[in-house]
Amino acid sequence: MLHLSIREIQKQLSTQNIHVTNVLKQTLRRIEHIKDLNAFVTVRNEDEILKDVEENDKNKNVPLRGVTVAVKDNFCLLNTKTSCGSKMLDNFIAPYTATVVDRSIRAGGLVVGKTNLDEFAMGSGTIDSYSGPCRNIWRSGISYKLLDKNESLPESWSVAGGSSGGTAVAVAAGAATVGLGSDTGGSVRIPAAWCGIPSLKPSYGLLSRHGLIPLVNSLDVPGLMARNVEDLQVYFEILQGKDEFDSTSVDYKCDDSVDFGKIKLGVPSEYFCEGMSHECINVVSETCNLFSDHGVSVTSVSLPNTDLAVPCYSVLNPCEVASNMARYDGVQFGLPGEDLSFTEAMAASSRSAGFNDVVRGRILAGNYFLLRRHYEEYYLQALKIRRMVQNDFVNVFKDVDFLLTPVTLSDAPSYDDFIKKDNRTQTAKQDHCTQPVNLAGLPAVTIPVDLSTNSLPLSVQLIGPYGSDKKLLKIAKWIEDKISFPTLVIS
């Protein structure tokens, strides 16, 4: 049952070949089976899950009936620990449920657990979590099967990508049919690409951020992952829509009409950066050939300010982080400080014990950039660059309909290689092809298309104008049907 799509699950349930509890029991066994991958921070028990969907199960027509959902541990879920992968929130039990999680449950979804992430979603590998690093299910030599019960982990394993690596691994491994992550600069698309599953980073505002613990409010969006594009289409349809609890959400009707005979596809030259592997370049070239062979116009285009996106993000991100993290003082939220001599000392001791070096570093950098004497030099300049990046997309979409780019610079690196560079360096390096999309608030879809010489997934990214989310998914479905990417065997 674990390999079934949403449509197949619904069909099996309607014909009474399976029951919701059968799906749930088998999924919980799978989660236990892959626990060495450290994809989940919290696994909910069967009674909790069934209680959530008890009313919905009576309605046989709910679209996610019997569909398991993995939720990144920075989305709130009522009466469930929401840690953000940090010791700071190790004692936080959410008093409410995030809108996208609530809509999943109301549609009949079975939220099986909260998944691992880089602490407070700051990272590209899911290796900086308080719960320990998350391991990619794909690895050389055993790519097409899950670990046997008595099989030990290889000494060198591939990273899952971050910061939503836990969700990506859970979905790829069959421990959930669909998954929720958050994407600030590539945090859904990178792990999806390295774990060999499709993903959607929606247009800013189309999915509610209410209940998503913020990292960078102006960039964060809930992102979706699934094992096939059709499931992404179904899940996106359920979750989108304006939310009264989120002032940034919009009521936008997405059009899904695509005339493949008239599509103009652009390939931005700036996305092929220094350090990108020949294999990542080749899969884009091969996908271009696929489009060309079917009558789609493919042309080279330019987004001249692409190289400025990472330094721009590196200022805006810590500035908003510094603001958002101010609430964690050990009194309102977070780990109580041990030094009670005065207020500042209590907050300092709380943050010293509760945050890792990455989080503390971004808070310090953000406060530095926001100092009165630095505000114009850094923050305002970054805002101007952000507008330049946005204008690049506005201009290029006058000439082409969609963009095709790489997602990552290579296939999933080994953990040993990944940790040779610090978090800041890895984020700046790995997010080259993904960060500009967040700065512009545009939608992007990733789709796995081939395997590397290491038998690891290689993906491409489709970018469209604001609100073209459904069109991108339709094109991604076309690619998926044409290439037949070799997915993991889930039994």
| 338 CB neighbour count, 10 Å cutoff | 12
User: Alpha carbon 324 to chain centroid distance?
Assistant: 20
Distance CA 202, CA 206 (A): 7
> Is residue 208 flagged as an active site residue?
no
Instruction: Write phi, then psi, for 187 (nearest 5 degrees).
Output: -70, -15
Those residues whose C-beta lies under 8 Å from the C-beta of residue 430, and which sit 6 or more positions away, are 124, 125, 161, 186, 190, 408, 409
In this structure, are residues 84 and 73 in contact, taking their beta carbons and an 8 Å threshold?
yes
User: Alpha carbon 194 to chain centroid distance?
Assistant: 12
Distance CA 69, CA 176 (A): 5
Closest of 450, 446, 445, 447 to residue 485, by C-alpha = 450
Distance CA 360, CA 370 (A): 16
DSSP string, 195-249: HT--EEEPPTTSS--TTB--S-TTT-EEEEEESSHHHHHHHHHHH-S--TT-TT-
Place of tokens 């109301």: 106
Those residues whose C-beta lies under 8 Å from the C-beta of residue 230, and which sit 6 or more positions away, are 5, 6, 7, 477
In this structure, are residues 248 and 202 in contact, taking their beta carbons and an 8 Å threshold?
no
Read off the tokens for 128. 């900086």
> Is residue 35 flagged as an active site residue?
no
For residue 130, give Cα distances in angstroms to 43, 83, 399: 16, 9, 46
Distance CA 173, CA 273 (A): 31
Place of tokens 């995030």: 98
Read off the tokens for 394. 């506005």
- Rg of the Cα trace of the chain? 21
Q: Which of 86, 163, 182, 208 is catalytic?
A: 163
- DSSP label at 380? I
Instruction: Write phi, then psi, for 474 (nearest 5 degrees).
Output: -65, -40
> Is residue 86 flagged as an active site residue?
no
Distance CA 184, CA 218 (A): 9
Q: Kindly report the CA angle at 409 between 360 and 153, in degrees rounded to 5? A: 75
Cis ω for the linkage preceding 285 (within 30 of 0): no
Place of tokens 């491994």: 173
Distance CA 369, CA 375 (A): 6
Q: Which of 83, 86, 187, 349 is catalytic?
A: 187
Measure the CA dihedral 148/161/175/20, to 10°.
-170
Residues catalogued as catalytic: 72, 163, 187
